[in-house]
Amino acid sequence: MKITARSMVFDVFEGGPAGGEPVLLLHGFPQHSGEWAAVTPLLHAAGLRTYALDQRGTSPGARPEGAEAYRIEECALDAVAVLDALGVSSVHLVGHDWGAVCAWHVALRHPARVRTLTAISVPHPHASAYAYAHDPDQQERSAYIKLFRHVDKAEEVLLGDGARRLRGLFAGASIDTDVYVRPLLEPGALTAALNWYRAMSPLDLVGLGPASVPTTYVWSDGDVAIGPAAARACAEHVAADYRFVPLAGISHWIADQAPAEVAAAVVARCRSWGIGKATRG
């Protein structure tokens, strides 16, 4: 369905029982809401109502010009505005990759709108920042960001030779890369998606404290982007019930490769809040 929020039009894919606990799913780069395709049926079977959002830059009707429009605070406000448009006062929030970063910001800056948080791959922003500043392994893992922030050069590299390097991001993950790559071949689509990287700023961390909502962090030891230093540091930045779910032998593309494990972590976190009880918040 199409949701109009903040003078933009977002694509949202809903499913599951109408009276189920609401779950908002936020995708990462270079993916879209389709990354949850194997996860949502399992959530629906557990009685959850899901809303998978194509975020700013991914929804064709939500592609403002300029990198500054993609500051993470703006992306977090998009999620809140979509909830307003859906008439959902608070939600179980799930995010992967950039979707996890956005989910952390929603939970930290708008905690009244979040019942529980399940962050996949990317830990609390301060954990990521600490690892990037102090851990050589994480610095090496994050080196790709410099290219992604390079205007025009990144598009040239990723789209050249039939988008070979864009497809190569999924190497070894047994994923149908066309599902994710094809939409990024549309004019302006890749630039809009890369603008999340180009809008990054140290100011993004200002005012962020520990998470105050029940939180699960799912990390895979085969993730080339997020190393163990960042993953281990996450717990220090959650001042609420916290669960760490490490997955062995899984790459960065956790929702695609381990949907059952993702669904189990989300359902367990939601049930910790109280599925079946009177709606709160």
Task: Tokens 């699960």: give the residue.
Answer: 216
Cβ contacts of 209 within 8 Å, gap of 6 or more? 108, 239
- Give Cα separations from 219 to 77, 122, 198 (angstroms): 26, 8, 25
The pLDDT value given to residue 89: 96
Task: Tell me the pLDDT tens digit for each residue of 193-215.
Answer: 999 999 999 999 999 999 999 99
Asked if 51 contacts 38 with a C-beta cutoff of 8 angstroms, the reply is no
The pLDDT value given to residue 75: 98
Question: Given this structure, which CATH class describes domain 2-272?
Answer: alpha beta
Helix axes 125-134, 98-109, angle to 10 degrees: 120
pTM of the model: 0.95
pLDDT at 171 over 90: no
| Rounded Cα distance, 205 and 192, in Å | 22
| Cα-Cα end-to-end distance for the chain | 25
Q: What are phi and psi of 174, to 5 degrees?
A: 55, 50
Q: What are phi and psi of 49, to 5 degrees?
A: -100, 120
Cα of 205 vs its chain's centroid, Å? 17
Q: Is 279 exposed, middle or buried (CB count within 10 Å of its CB: 0-12, 13-18, 19+)?
A: exposed
The pLDDT value given to residue 173: 86
User: Coil, strand, or helix at residue 220?
Assistant: strand
Q: What are phi and psi of 22, to 5 degrees?
A: -80, 135
The full set of domain ranges for the chain reads 2-272
| Rounded Cα distance, 114 and 108, in Å | 9
pLDDT at 177 over 60: yes
